[in-house]
Amino acid sequence: MSFTALVEQVGPGTPAGTILRRYWQPVAVAAQLPVGGTQPLRILGEAFTLYRDERGAAHVVGARCAHRGTFLHTGWVEDDCIRCFYHGWKFEPSGQCVEQPAEPAGFARAVRIPSHPVEEYAGLVFAFFGEGAPPPLPRFPELEAPGIKVVAGIRPPGPWPVNYFQVLENSVDPVHLCFVHRATQPFTRVIPEVRAERSGDGVAMTAVRDGVERHTKYWFPHLIQLPLWPIPGERIECPFFNWKVPVDDGHTLFIAATAVPEHLADRVDDEEIGGRTMEAAAGPGLLAGDRRPASVTEEDYVAIVGQGTFADRVGERLGRSDVGVIELRRLWQEHLDALAGVAP
C-alpha cells in the first residue's frame, strides 16, 4: 500500500486510524455543549453521541441505542445518563444500560454500548477512542499563562471536504503564505528562508523574512502551533493551537484554541479570529472562481480543497522549500513502520 493510502485512511483497523486513536482527539467546543445538551458526533470514520449531564460533565458514548438502533442524541439527559427517544432505554456514562421500562428486571445488566474517556481543557472537549487506558492529556503553558483568555472555536464552514493529511501539509508549508495570503496578509509576500528540524515527536519550522523569524511547531499526529494576529490591522501575536481532526477519510475539522491577552479578549470573536470567516455556502463559488477569496479561511479553502478531496502525490517534484512537508511525511512513515514492526 502506498504512503498516501496509508495516511489517508482513518477508519477502525487502518494503520493511520490505529495511530490516531492512540491520541486524544478534540471533538467539540465546550461552550457549545450546554448542560443537558446532546450532539451527534462523527470522528475517525465512526459515529458517537456527545452529551453533557445535569452535573455539567461531558460524555461520549455509542451513536445508537443497543435496543433497535435509534440515534441516542435524539433522546434526552437524566442526571448523568442518557435515555433513548424510541423506547426509553437508559444508559450510564460507562455505557451500561440501567433501565428498560418495558423489560423484565435484570435484562439491562446484560446490555452495554461503547463509552470513551472524556476530558475538557482550553475550552475544548477531548475524547479518547483507543484501546486501554488513555495517556495523559497534553497541556500547554501558553494556554495556562496568567493574564490570558483562551478563545476556542471550530474554523468555518464546519467539516472541510478534504482529507486531513493535506491540511497538515499546508500548515508546514510557509511559502504558501506568500501567494495564498498575499491579499489579506501583505507582510507575507516576502519569500522566506525555510528551515525544519525534528523537535521531540514533531517538527519545528522556521520561516525567516527580512531577518524576522516566524516559528511553527507540528506536534504528532495532527496539532499545529503557530503565532496568530487575531485583531485585524494590529501585529499582536498570540499562541494559536490548531488540531486537524479527521471526521472521516474525506472530511476534516479545524478545532482551535488561542491564547489572547485578557484586555483584548472582548475584541476577538471565536469565529472571526485571525480573519477566519467563511459562509458555509461560499465553497462552490470560490472553487469555481466566481469571486476572489476575502479572508484567510477562504484563501486556504481555495488552495487546499482545490487539490481535491484526496491530494494526488504521484509525480510531485518537491523542492528545498518543501522541507516541512518532507519532515512531516518522514515522521509519519516512522510511526507507520513502527506499527508494522519494521525496524528503523
23-39 pLDDT, tens digit per residue, is 999 999 999 999 999 99
| Average pLDDT of span 245-273 | 83
Half-sphere exposure of 48 (CA within 13 A, CB side): 26
- Indicate whether 266 belongs to any domain: yes
Report residue 277's pLDDT band, with 50, 70 and 90 as the boundaries: low
Q: What is the pLDDT of residue 213?
A: 83
| Same domain? 185 vs 95 | no
Longest C-alpha distance within the chain, in Å? 75
Listed range (175-189, 200-214, 254-268) with the worst mean pLDDT:
175-189
The predicted structure's pLDDT at residue 297 = 81
- Can you give the pLDDT at residue 32? 95
238 pairs with which residues across the strands?
228
Determine the Cα–Cα distance for residues 8 and 17; give it in Å rounded to an integer.
Answer: 9
Task: Say what the pLDDT of residue 332 is.
Answer: 98
On whether residue 95 sits in a domain, the answer given is yes
Q: What local confidence, expressed as pLDDT, does residue 124 receive?
A: 97
Asked whether residue 187 carries a pLDDT value surpassing 90, the answer given is no
HSE value, Cβ hemisphere, 13 Å, CA-based, for 76: 4
Count structural domains, the chain. 2
User: Of 99, 127, 155, which one is at a domain's C-terminal end?
Assistant: 127
User: In this structure, are 209 and 92 located in the same domain?
Assistant: no
Query: Residue 221, preceding bond cis, omega within 30 degrees?
Result: yes
pLDDT band at 274 (very low <50, low <70, confident <90, very high): very low
- Looking at every residue in the chain, the average pLDDT score rounds to 90
CA distance readout (Å), 271 to 97, 158, 214, 297: 38, 11, 24, 11
Residue 137 lies in a domain: no
The answer to whether 111 and 92 have CB atoms below 8 angstroms apart is no
What 3-state DSSP class applies to 108? helix
Distance CA(22)–CA(41), nearest Å, equals: 19
- Please give the pLDDT value at position 273: 56
CA distances, 101 to each of 13, 68, 90, 107, 134 (Å): 36, 15, 9, 11, 34
CATH of the domain at 314: 3.90.380.10
Give the residue from 207, 217, 209 showing the smallest Cα distance to 168. 217
| pLDDT exceeds cutoff 80 at 94 | yes
Asked if residue 3 is part of any domain, the answer here is no
- 227 — phi, psi (to 5°)? -80, 140
- Dihedral sign, Cα of residue 55, residue 70, residue 31, residue 223: positive
59 lies in some domain? yes
Count of other CB atoms within 10 angstroms of residue 298: 23
Q: Are residues 56 and 172 in the same domain?
A: no
Would 74 be classed as within a structural domain? yes
The domain in which residue 163 lies consists of: 143-339
Residue type, 322: D
Task: Report how far residue 235's alpha carbon sits from residue 212's, in angstroms, rounded to the nearest whole number.
Answer: 13
| Residue whose grid cell is 519532515 | 327
Is residue 178, in this structure, part of any structural domain at all?
yes
- If pLDDT is split at 50, 70 and 90, which confidence band does 190 have? confident
290/193 same-domain check: yes
Q: What is the CATH number of the domain that holds 47?
A: 2.102.10.10
Using an 8 Å Cβ cutoff, are 19 and 221 in contact?
A: yes
Closest among 294, 271, 179 to 170, alpha carbons compared: 179
Give pLDDT, residue 283: 73
Per-residue pLDDT tens for 291-342? 877 777 888 888 888 888 999 888 888 888 889 999 999 999 999 999 998 7
Same domain, yes or no, for 171 and 41?
no
pLDDT at 228: 78
Q: Are residues 107 and 181 in the same domain?
A: no
- % of the chain at pLDDT higher than 90: 63
Spatial separation of the C-alpha atoms in residues 181 and 141, rounded to whole Å: 29
Instruction: Tell the residue number behind the cell numbers 475584541, with chain if given.
Output: 267
The amino acid that residue 239 corresponds to is P
Structure letter (DSSP) for residue 135: P
| pLDDT at residue 260 tops 60 | yes
| Residue 309 CB-density burial (10 A; 0-12 exposed, 13-18 middle, 19+ buried) | middle
Nearest by Cα to 49 from 10, 11, 23, 75: 75
Q: Based on the domain organization, do 56 and 83 belong to the same domain?
A: yes
Last residue of a domain, one of 101, 127, 153: 127
The mean pLDDT of 180-193, rounded to a whole number, is 74
Q: Is residue 15 part of a domain?
A: no
Inter-residue long-range contacts of 94-100, CB under 8 Å, 24+ positions, other chains counted: 95/61, 95/62, 97/66, 100/67
268 and 315 part of one domain: yes
Q: Are residues 166 and 43 in the same domain?
A: no
- Local confidence band at 116 (pLDDT 50, 70, 90 cut-offs): very high
Round to the nearest angstrom and report the end-to-end CA distance of the chain.
19
**Has residue 259 got a pLDDT over 70?**
yes
Residue 232 pLDDT: 61
Summarised one tens digit per residue, pLDDT across range 125-177 is 999 999 999 999 999 999 999 999 998 988 876 899 999 999 999 999 887 77
Does 46 share its domain with 186?
Answer: no
Q: Is the domain of 211 the same as that of 81?
A: no
The reported pLDDT for the residue numbered 249 is: 98
Looking at residue 281, its pLDDT comes to 60
Residue 167 in contact with residue 137, Cβ under 8 Å?
Answer: no
The pLDDT assigned to 87 comes to 98
- Helix (H) or strand (E) holding 272, with range, is none
181 and 286 in a single domain? The answer is yes
pLDDT at 282 over 90: no
Answer whether 251's CB lies under 8 Å from 160's CB: yes
Q: Each residue of 201-258: pLDDT tens digit?
A: 999 998 888 888 888 999 999 999 988 776 665 667 889 999 999 999 999 999 999 9
